[in-house]
């Protein structure tokens, strides 16, 4: 029921977006300068609305190429498609079968394992069994019994993935183990779309995969892209601040993306690998700003699980990566590259207090 609703809502969004873009393609002149209006196309992929906006004319073929690349990644990494590479790997867990990976899945898994190690397993690509048990964002969402959680937690352990790097093969040694690349696949897909656009010499574009934003270049008038940071407790599209970026990704993980409420308690989709429950902390969301969407996506989830203190330490170990933490206490914690205006942040909601990390 809920899923049908969200798909309907997504289709509604696509129609709105299509109508909107149909009415604003073409050229306009501004201060004697030729300014190109953006052209957008959207498609429902990776379980979300994927929208690509290009600030140049005559690039319709790039939309088709980009969406088919995203589709390819979805076909490999989807957990809902029974024939995806990830589904086949999970299906064969405990059987001893060794599976040869595609280049895409191999790359994503290597990156996921790196973040898993660096976050001491708070980010863990073997979170699959717990994601299935909770079913958050599906019709079957529920609160599992404690003994079920304990049993499934024992299956979550990235160090047990048998990945042979020289042969690019993988094997999950215990029955019931399951990979879930949901925290990182969209980031990878966005970077892949960027490659398609930049190879075609596109200098200005926005790739938006369900709120994971990756910008190419700057706007045609030379200004930065202004990207809204969602107010985690308000409706979608209500921003508490704006970051101005060029050639960067902004990816947010938060309590508001997918969740259900039972007995006044919110159960969201980011699982704490220490407890097996949705992360419980004062954090409402973490936005990461980085050169690549891939790393921003992985780190937004990892930092959300890690919490403010450990999350900041983790981000600190990645040069050039910045973060915005939003807490229940109406605090916005910014890393130094944002507070020093290297990446400008404009506060829209005065009820929040800005704090610079490390101070």
**Is the Cβ of residue 90 or residue 204 nearer to ligand ADP in the bound state?**
90
- Closest residue to Mg ion, judged by C-beta, is 301
Q: Supply 195's token pair.
A: 């490659």
Angle at 312 between CA 236 and CA 189, to 5 degrees: 50
Applying CB under 6 A, the residues found at the interface with ligand ADP are 123-125, 127, 131, 180, 182-183, 186, 253, 257-258, 269-271, 273, 297, 300-301, 305
Residue with the CB atom nearest ligand ADP in the bound state: 182
Q: Are 70 and 209 in contact (CB under 8 A)?
A: yes
Minimum distance between the CB of residue 263 and ligand ADP, rounded to whole angstroms?
22
Beta strand pairing call for 331-334 and 27-30: unpaired
- Nearest approach in angstroms of CB 244 to ligand ADP is 22
Tell me the C-alpha distance between 127 and 156, whole Å: 6
d(CA 333, CA 358): 10
Q: How many CB atoms lie within 10 A of CB 198?
A: 14
Q: Which does 285 bind (CB under 5 to 8 A by kind): ligand ADP, Mg ion, none?
A: none
Q: Which residues bind Mg ion (CB under 5 A)?
A: 183, 297, 300-301
Q: How far is the CB of 28 from ligand ADP (least distance, A)?
A: 34
Phi, psi at residue 245, to the nearest 5°?
-135, 155
Q: Which is nearer to ligand ADP, 59 or 186 (CB)?
A: 186
Asked if 256 and 285 count as a contact pair (C-beta separation under 8 A), the reply is yes
Nearest approach, Cβ of residue 255 and ligand ADP (Å): 10
Q: Which is nearer to ligand ADP, 53 or 78 (CB)?
A: 78
Nearest residue (CB) to ligand ADP, 55 versus 256? 256
| Residue closer to ligand ADP (CB basis): 46 or 245 | 46
Q: Yes or no: say if 102 and 206 are a contact pair by the CB < 8 Å rule.
A: no
For the bound state, the minimum distance from the C-beta of residue 313 to ligand ADP, rounded and expressed in Å, comes to: 17
Strand pairing report for 48-54 and 204-209? antiparallel
């Amino acid at each position: 029921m809920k899923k049908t609703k969200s798909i309907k809502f997504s289709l509604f969004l696509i129609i709105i977006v299509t109508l909107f873009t149909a009415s604003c393609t073409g050229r306009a002149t501004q201060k004697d300068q030729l300014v190109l209006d953006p052209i957008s196309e959207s498609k429902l992929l990776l379980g979300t609305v994927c929208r690509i906006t290009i600030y140049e004319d005559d690039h319709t073929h790039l939309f088709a190429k980009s969406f088919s690349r995203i589709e390819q990644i979805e076909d490999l990494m989807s957990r809902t498609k029974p024939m995806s590479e990830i589904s086949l790997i999970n299906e064969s867990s405990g059987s001893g079968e060794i599976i040869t990976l595609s280049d895409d899945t191999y790359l994503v898994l290597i990156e996921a394992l790196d973040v898993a190690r660096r976050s001491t397993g708070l980010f863990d690509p073997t979170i699959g069994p717990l994601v299935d048990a909770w079913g958050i964002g599906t019709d079957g969402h529920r609160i599992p019994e404690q003994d079920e959680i304990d049993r499934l937690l024992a299956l979550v352990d990235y160090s047990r993935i048998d990945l042979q790097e020289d042969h690019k093969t993988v094997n999950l040694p215990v029955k019931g183990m399951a990979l879930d690349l949901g925290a990182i696949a969209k980031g990878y897909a966005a970077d892949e779309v960027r490659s398609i656009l930049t190879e075609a010499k596109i200098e200005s574009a926005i790739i938006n995969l369900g709120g994971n934003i990756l910008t190419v270049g700057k706007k045609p008038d030379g200004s930065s892209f202004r990207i809204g940071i969602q107010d985690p407790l308000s409706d979608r599209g209500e921003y508490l601040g704006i970051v101005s970026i060029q050639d960067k990704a902004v990816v947010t993980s938060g309590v508001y993306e997918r969740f259900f409420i039972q007995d006044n308690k919110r159960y969201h989709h980011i699982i704490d690998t220490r407890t097996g429950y949705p992360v419980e902390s004062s954090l409402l969301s973490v936005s990461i700003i980085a050169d690549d969407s891939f790393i921003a996506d992985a780190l937004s989830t990892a930092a959300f699980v890690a919490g403010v203190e450990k999350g900041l330490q983790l981000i600190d170990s990645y040069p050039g990566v910045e973060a915005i933490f939003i807490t229940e206490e109406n605090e916005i914690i910014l890393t130094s590259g944002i507070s020093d205006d290297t990446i400008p942040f404009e506060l829209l909601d005065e009820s929040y207090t800005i704090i610079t990390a490390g101070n």
